[in-house]
Amino acid sequence: MIPFVDLKAQYESIRDEVGPAIQGILDSCQFTLGSEVVAFEKEFAAYSQAEHGIGVNSGTSALHVALLAAGVGPGDEVITVPFTFVATVAAVYYTGAKSVFVDIDPRTFTMDVTAIEAAITPRTKAILPVHLYGQPADMDPILEIARRHGLTVIEDAAQAHGAEYKGRRAGSIGDMGCFSFYPGKNLGAYGEGGMVVTGNPEYARTMRMLRDWGAEKKYEHVLKGYNYRLEGIQGAVLRVKLRHLEEWTEARRSAAARYDSLLAGSGITTPEAMPYARHVYHVYAIRTTRRAAWQAALQGQGIHTGIHYPIPVHLLGAYADLGYKAGDFPVSERAANEVLSLPMFPELTASQSETVCAALLKLQAES
Ligand SMILES: Cc1ncc(COP(=O)(O)O)c(C=O)c1O
């Protein structure tokens, strides 16, 4: 059996560090926020080349408070992509604003920067690119357009811890960057978690208040806030795991390079890493027009795969009220029909990669 993600293998490798870290929280009783969260905020912000880190209880909450700090609210529009996890669009909805979609670039699955200008209206407040699968969107044109139109840029870096764009770390390129620490992410908590990083002290201050009931001092609520605090145990676990993140990221990149070379010349479409990017391979997705049959055949051989994501957000029932229809974003729709995510985690062995690729090459030869 080859799992899609192997959280157990990773836990086994750090069990001696993570146990005492959790015990430390039990001893100190700093269950929510507290010194481990503060230390983790500093360390993860530094890792992401940003000045401030604001720990929250999920990546979705990170997006929500970042949008609020940018002043996004009812009547506003936020430009984003339909080929993403639904949370990106849900966070915009939570603010009362409307998501306006642009299609993706077929090579990278990230925002098609040539489509942005046509989507800007007098109501546009922000651009929200998604660094899908761990590869940053093409940020320079996005920043240039945003500057010209006075828009805030918020990066959805939920899948892109440690990814780089022209040497700059994901999350620190735009005005704010939002991360998820969902367990299966490249840096995953043992529960839920998220963080916004920013270089802007005003945004940082607002978000610190918003995540903790809008108060800077206890019971002095100056903003209408939320209970989005990051738990102490998650801060302690994430601090331990952050120390290993570079080594795990390099292991993912090696696993991706192994897939690339084993599948080269086969006619199977493998991911394209752009010259500007350090791709961190949260997901390694191939493309095939025979996806359902391939996924079933692989499953039959004990090889677990995933689909990220089968339905673009503009075609989800929950967001039908945005008024889009099939055919509006053909690149996203085609990607949603063709992508197939192969097993990808730092501990993936060479022999596991070979088994996966041998099965794929056989399927390709048969079709
Ligand atoms: C692109 C993207 N944005 C946002 C999120 C939301 O993060 P969370 O699940 O931590 O709320 C996720 C992950 O789930 C994601 O993959």
Digit-coded pLDDT (tens) for 205-259:
999 999 999 999 999 999 999 999 999 999 999 999 999 999 999 999 999 999 9
Q: Taking residues 92-115, what's their average pLDDT? A: 98
**Residue nearest atom 12 of ligand 1, based on CA coordinates:** 158
Ligand 1 site, residue 159, Cβ cutoff 6 A? yes
DSSP 109: S
260, two tokens? 């690339």
pLDDT at 63: 99
Sign of CA dihedral 69, 75, 81, 83: positive
Ligand 1 site, residue 137, Cβ cutoff 6 A? no
Query: Cβ contacts of residue 42 below 8 Å, gap of 6+?
Result: 53
**Which atom in ligand 1 lies closest to the alpha carbon of residue 58?**
10
Helix axes 59-69, 87-95, angle to 10 degrees: 40
Q: Which residue has the tokens 């596991």?
A: 352
Q: Percentage of the chain surpassing pLDDT 70?
A: 100
Ligand 1 site, residue 135, Cβ cutoff 6 A? no
pLDDT at 305: 98
pLDDT at 32: 98
Whole-number Å distance between alpha carbons of 285 and 97: 31
**Buried/exposed 176-186: b ≥16 CB within 10 Å, e otherwise:** bbbbbbbeebb
Whole-number Å distance between alpha carbons of 45 and 144: 24
pLDDT at 161: 98
Ligand 1 site, residue 130, Cβ cutoff 6 A? yes
Digit-coded pLDDT (tens) for 49-67:
999 999 999 999 999 999 9
3-state helix, strand, coil in the chain (%, to 5): 45, 15, 40
User: Mind giving me the DSSP string for 159-173?
Assistant: T-TT-EETTEETTSS
Digit-coded pLDDT (tens) for 13-57:
999 999 999 999 999 999 999 999 999 999 999 999 999 999 999
Q: Percentage of the chain surpassing pLDDT 90?
A: 99
pLDDT at 367: 85
pLDDT at 153: 99
Digit-coded pLDDT (tens) for 123-139:
999 999 999 999 999 99
Ligand 1 site, residue 60, Cβ cutoff 6 A? yes
What's the pLDDT band for 325 if we cut at 50, 70, 90? very high
Digit-coded pLDDT (tens) for 174-211:
999 999 999 999 999 999 999 999 999 999 999 999 99
Out of 56, 61, 85, mutate this one to test ligand 1's pocket (max ligand atoms within 8 Å of CB): namely: 85
Q: Ligand 1 centre and the CA of 354: distance in Å?
A: 30
Digit-coded pLDDT (tens) for 250-299:
999 999 999 999 999 999 999 999 999 999 999 999 999 999 999 999 99
Ligand 1 site, residue 85, Cβ cutoff 6 A? yes
Phi then psi for 255, rounded to 5 degrees? -60, -40
| Nearest alpha-carbon partner for 64 in 219, 290, 224 | 224
Ligand 1 site, residue 295, Cβ cutoff 6 A? no
CA angle 82, 335, 277 (to 5 degrees): 80
Whole-number Å distance between alpha carbons of 193 and 62: 9
What's the pLDDT band for 75 if we cut at 50, 70, 90? very high
Torsion of CA 272, 102, 173, 36, to 10 degrees: -90
